[in-house]
Structure 1
Amino acid sequence: MSNTFAPFGFSQHRGTGSAPTYEQTPRSIALTAGAIYAGDPVTSQADGTIAQSVAGTTQIAGIFVGCEYVSATLNRKVWSPYWPGSGSALANTTVTGYVINDPNAQFLCQSGNAGSPVAATDVGANINFAIGTGNALNGLSGAYANQATIATTATLPFRIVAVVTAPPGSNGTDSASNGNWIVVAFNNVDTKSLTGIV
């Protein structure tokens, strides 16, 4: 069965040889920052905050998994799977985002819906991502792995660890059609890179 393209961002799958610990590192988000969805790659900014990443070779800070802030409309602290963006939090308050940045973390994601599928022969190669459209109803990211970028380039943010083939017949497990699901690990992330952020 051909895969249906329905990207969901980068969902924590496991660690190296063990179950995920679900550790989340708190990071500040600027009150004026754009929307960030659960499963989005995020990048450290020069002011110490994080923002939704732009695809490229800049190292990422990790994967966003939610935030807490004082809602400008409810006048109380709320926990949300995504940051709705500028104007959502009360002025002069702090927005705390939570990021998975464990250098051993692995993530399940969908590959793009154009070109060839990610093949078993691509395991071990590096890959970039694309930011799709996030879902404000459930807070999920629309990000996916961009298989057109598969290369040995050292600065790409992710490394392909596995191609998902089970359970057979489920969406994402058809390795013969594009949009197949893969498991990736961090390659160029703040907690692994020797390059600092200024």
Structure 2
Amino acid sequence: MDALNFLLISSLVSASTSLQQDIEAKLGADVTLQCQISTDEVISVLKWSRADLNTDGYVYFYRNKRSYENYQHPSFHGRVKLKDPEMKDGDVSLILKNVTFNDTGMYECHIAVRNPVRSKRVHTEISHFINLTVTGETHGNMKLVKTGDGNIEEVVEVETRTDQMVVPAVSAAATVIVITAGFVAMWRLKRKKQQHMEADNQQLV
């Protein structure tokens, strides 16, 4: 009985296959994530995902002849579309618009297909992995930092120059000392004149 069940399961699902490629895209550009299967197979499920997004949502999700935006990760809303909405010739490539540094990562194109010539219950699962790297330059005194949620953002880099700060501080201190010494000298001179006047008055008396 166990052998019969094993043969039945093996006839329903065939072995999975996988491919991988590395691509680069310029910051702010549109990039096409290529993925294609043979034309004699019918696509029942298409899932574009990224492992580091965990369970927050898919990059793109398609099942039973329609896409589901409610399964999509918020950062990809309005930014992705199929290169060919009708998926002719098995082309399930995805266009990602206006890429940012946060789009860098490993993307998986996972497809569940069935061969119309054979039984409709026979399915094959195919995975195509694309490692996307977004390159570009930051603006002015901007630098890239990784936030607590794993995103990458541009922030203003403030450069601290201790040598430039010491000079004004020393100059200010010197100015205060000079002014204070001037007041002390004036006070002493005034005090000495007052003492002379008091001495002269005593002699007159």
- Normalising TM by the smaller chain, what interval? under 0.3
So what's the TM-score if we normalise by structure 1? 0.21
Larger radius of gyration: 2
More helix by share: 2
